[in-house]
Amino acid sequence: MSDIRELLRSASHDIGVPLNDDAVSLFLQYCDELLFWNRKMSLTSIRSPSDIAIKHFVDSLTIVPLIPSSAVNILDVGSGAGFPGIPVKIVLQDCDITLLEPSRKKSSFLRHVIRSLSLSRISVRTDRLENLIQRDDPPPFFDVIVTRATLTLGDSFRAAPLLTHGGRLILMKGTRDSFSTDLSNNDCPLSLRLLTIRPLRLPLSGDERHLVLFEKI
C-alpha cells in the first residue's frame, strides 16, 4: 500500500487538495473496506487499488475547492459506496455531511465504513431525494448539495428547495457530451443560477470530468 499512499499524496496535491498523514491512512483503510465488501455485494466495478485512489477518492475531492469555507451542512445525493461524501468528510472534518442512499445494503456498508474510520458528524439516510422533501416537516436545509453522475439534470434540480439561500448545487459529470444536451433541454429553476462549468482531467488517468455549479438565489 506504500505505492497507493504516494499516489494519493501526489494526485491530491495536483488537484489542490493536499492530504496529511492521517487523511491518507483513512483513505487506505477505506480502500481496504471497499475491496472486502465489494466481494460480497456490487459496490463498484473498479477493483484496482490505484484506480480506486484516482477514479473514486481523488475524483471525489475535486469538488472541495468549490465548497465555501462557510458551508456547514452538506448533502450527498445517491451516495452509493460513499462518493463523494466520505472522501469530502475525511478532508473537511468540520462539516456535517448526510449521505442519502436508497439501497439498504449500500446504506449498511456506509454505516460500517463510518464506524470503522471513526468519522464523526456524518450520517446515512436510507431514502430517496423526493421523500426527503415530502416527508420531513420542516424539510432539512443544506449549504451544499452534491450528486455524482447519478441523477439527470432535471432530477438534480428537484434538490433546490433543500438549499439555503446562497447554497450551492454541485453536479459531478463526465465528458461534456454526457450532459450538454441535458443542460440545453432543461430550464434552470428560477431559484437557481448557473455559476460555472469547470472542466478538469483526473491526474494520471487523464479522464475527463466536469463540475457543474449552481447557486440558490
Q: What is the pLDDT of residues 146-203, one digit of tens each?
A: 999 777 888 888 999 999 999 999 999 988 877 776 676 667 787 899 999 999 999 9
pTM for the whole structure: 0.93
Position 83 in a domain: yes
Position 29 in a domain: no
Position 170 in a domain: yes
When pLDDT is cut at 50, 70 and 90, the band that residue 114 belongs to is: very high
169-201: burial string, b at 16+ Cβ within 10 Å, e else: bbbbbeeeeebeeebeeeeebeebeeeeeeeee
Position 54 in a domain: no
Q: Minimal CA–CA distance to 154: which of 117, 179, 135?
A: 179
Position 39 in a domain: no
Query: Can you give the residue range of the structural domain that contains 78?
Result: 62-216
Position 53 in a domain: no
CATH number at residue 196: 3.40.50.150
Position 202 in a domain: yes
Number of domains the chain is built from: 1
pLDDT in tens, 18-62: 999 999 999 999 999 999 999 888 888 888 999 999 999 999 999
Q: Mean per-residue pLDDT for 80-94?
A: 97
When pLDDT is cut at 50, 70 and 90, the band that residue 138 belongs to is: confident
Count how many Cα atoms sit within 13 Å of the Cα of residue 174 in the half-sphere of its side chain: 9
Position 150 in a domain: yes
